[in-house]
A and B are shown apart, each in its own frame.
Chain A
Amino acid sequence: MELLAYIPLGIDAVFGPASRISILGVALPLTPLMVLAGFVLGIVVGATPGLAGPMAMAVCLPILISIFGYGADALLPVLGFLIGIMKGATLGGAVPAILFNIPGTPDAYMTTLDGHPMAKEGKAYQALRIAHLSSVSGDTFSDIVLIVGAAFIAVAVEEWLDLPEKTALLIFSLSFIAAVIGSSVGKGLIAIGLGLFTAFIGTGEEFYPRLTGGTAILAEGIPIAAAILGVLIVGEIFKSLDDIRREGIKPTLAPQRTAGDSGKLSWSLLRRLFPHIGRSALVGTAIGALPGIGSTLAATIGYTLGAKIHARKRPFERPFGKGAPEGVAATEAANSSVSGANLIPTLSLGIPGNTAAVFLILAMDSIGGFNPGPSVFRTSAEINPELVIVFGLFTSMIFANLLNWTIGGVFMRHIGILTRVKKHILLPIVLLLTMTATYIQYTRLSAVVFLLFFGALGYAMRKLDISPLPFVVAFILGNQLEETARQAFAATGGDAFFLFNRPVAAAFMLLSLITIVVMSRQRSREIP
């Protein structure tokens, strides 16, 4: 079957009669309902400072799995819900940034710089409308790139890369992530090393579970969700509780009055915004397609680039940072265009690009029946069920974009109230939610203890300026890396230099080295 023939199959998997459930006698397609639910939840979570999309994804996953069970039928509704959260949270993050100068999500920090000054001038609704328009445009553009690009990359990888080259590609991805994320290359490498080591506990080819000292509790390996949720979510909660204890509880802010602010965007304003939206969408998409670099960096680059061009071309107008509408547009278009492109390495190579992608991979891994990687895009005489899922996923994303265009803005303008929820009450509850969610998935208290251990590790890493994302990506890819290397070694008949005596593999290895060397020089110069 041809690749294009999967488009109707994917649409059918999402909207078709087989996927419908009956609610009050009306047959409704399940996956779009889940996307909608996730989307609304995402906006709410994004708009609540202290909560973020990944937290909601982590807490919902076990519930979703227990509703839909394991198996191929569960994949689209669950992944659709998670994608809804992902998209909603990016949108919602702008709300408190504009209204209260508090970024709802980390990538909305740049939005506060111009969005909040606008709100103080009584143009809050206009700022929200600009954020919405930019966010949705960037997101849609990114999704189109994903849908067009993912299959080509996967097919090229399958066609051109043999086991040794795949091993080298994984090494390159990890080196790249170590080099570009976090405060220094050295710290990135430490995080990668720790993540790999954690992945190797209890695994391996021998029947003796290695690195366990013979203890039964480690023999099954580190529970995947416990380590990921621990470092990413629990670590963040510990850090925030620590901050609250040091700095005290911040008083609640009263919402800004917005009388007489209809927020309508005039055509002349739109014409000023479009170049910024376009540029930032390109920046965000390009950055998103590289594994490991998140939306925060995209927002920073999009904003900085926009500021420079704006200052050069329109020096007579209000500059970025003083309430320029262009500033909101440049930031929001950039951080929203990361999410779609980020799924390119996720789906076609199985390499998660950011935290949201980590949770999508975790969902795929827990449910089973879908193993992201080049094999997903294979076309053959029989129908490839995994490819149907991919196109179902694309359909869900387009549907989520439609929701975003239509009802996203309305929601966004009416949830400012959420920022009044108190963080120091919310965080312990989210912590308990995460603990319970982990327990439900593994049904043993030892998994919760692992969760807390990795939470403490995540706390320490944040305090030591070590980014937790390289740790998580290395943890996810660790066993894949080892297995691919073993297989490459065996398949080449025991060639110890398999990484260096084939041109493509050698090129990847060289690139890894160059990235690390160049980035460590570059970044040591940045330090005063």
Chain B
Amino acid sequence: MPPIGRNRIASLAFLVLGAGLLALSLLDSGSGIYEISRRKVVIGDALAPVVACTFILIGTILDALKGGKDHSLDRTGLVNLGWILGVILAGLIMMRWAGPLAVDLATMVGIEGGVDGEKALEYRTLRNTPPWKYIGFFLGSTLIIGALISRSERRLLPRHLWLGALAALCLIAVYDLPFDDLLLPPNGDV
């Protein structure tokens, strides 16, 4: 038996979304639907988003009236999506912090890294210096690719991580080695 009322739930969700965005448009636009400026009426910043929300609401009503076959957004899909997003976010966190952590560790055990033999103690100053600049990207990418492949194959093999690592190395070769002023993640944020 197909799930009953799935389309109804989606329509309701879009109605709520449209109404919520409409309220946001009116409350958080810096000016109203119209304004008086230099003694003339001008279009305010709220008008355009209000029009956009009107489209959403009219579209939702038209769609709800029409009926038709059920859409296919289901629990399995949401679980899969959540899993994918979770893995990627974990990978991004790894990307962001693995490099600075490695620099901290290196400092602690007394390895000097850096430019011109100077003591460089911050990841920020090393963000364009190999090998430091690759640490986060390499580990994060390996994690993301390895985890996604193993999820599809429904088992975790060392081969998946190797594939991830290989892909990460290829990306570094393509995006970073030939170009001086490209910054790989996370080196523009630090």
Contact = CB atoms under 8 A, between A and B. Distances in A.
- Touching chains A and B, CB distance < 8 Å: yes
A390 to B, nearest CB: 29
Contact of B62 (A189, A424, A485): A189
B149 A428 contact: yes
Given A197-B53, A246-B76, A436-B175, A428 B185 contact: no
Contacts of A381: none
Contact of A245 (B66, B73, B152, B174): B152
A482 B184 contact: no
A190 interface: yes
Interface string B153-190: 10000000001100110010011001101111111110
Contacts, number: 217
A527 B152 contact: no
B152 A249 contact: yes
A525 B184 CA distance: 52
A436 B21 contact: no
A121 interface: no
B43 interface: yes
B88 A489 contact: no
Contact of B85 (A184, A437, A456): A456
Given A432-B141, A432-B145, A190 B88 contact: no
B66 A463 contact: no
B188 A443 contact: yes
A527 B185 contact: no
Contact of B163 (A67, A207, A425, A464): A425
A196 B80 contact: no
Contact of B25 (A211, A431, A493): A211
A424 B153 contact: yes
Interface string A198-218: 001000111111111100000
B66 to A, nearest CB: 5
B113 interface: no
B contact residues, range: 35 or more
A210 B29 contact: yes
Contacts of A440: 175, 182-184
A435 B96 CA distance: 14
Nearest to B64: A186
B61 interface: yes
* SS of A interface (majority): helix
Interface string B24-54: 1100111100000000111101111101111
A187 B64 CA distance: 10
Nearest to B147: A428
A242 B80 contact: yes
With a 10 A CB-CB cut-off, give which of A188, A245, A442, A485 has the most chain B CB atoms: A245
Interface in A452-473: 452, 456, 459-460, 463-465
A185 B77 contact: no
Given A197-B52, A425-B163, 18 more contacts: A187-B59, A190-B60, A193-B55, A194-B56, A209-B30, A241-B152, A245-B80, A425-B149, A427-B148, A428-B148, A431-B148, A436-B184, A445-B96, A456-B85, A463-B71, A465-B72, A485-B43, A527-B69
Interface of B: 10, 14, 18, 21, 24-25, 28-31, 40-43, 45-49, 51-69, 71-74, 76-77, 80-81, 84-85, 88-89, 92, 95-96, 137, 141, 144-145, 148-149, 151-153, 163-164, 167-168, 171, 174-175, 178-179, 181-189
Q: 5 tightest CB-CB pairs across the interface, nearest first?
A: A443-B188, A186-B63, A189-B59, A193-B55, A186-B62
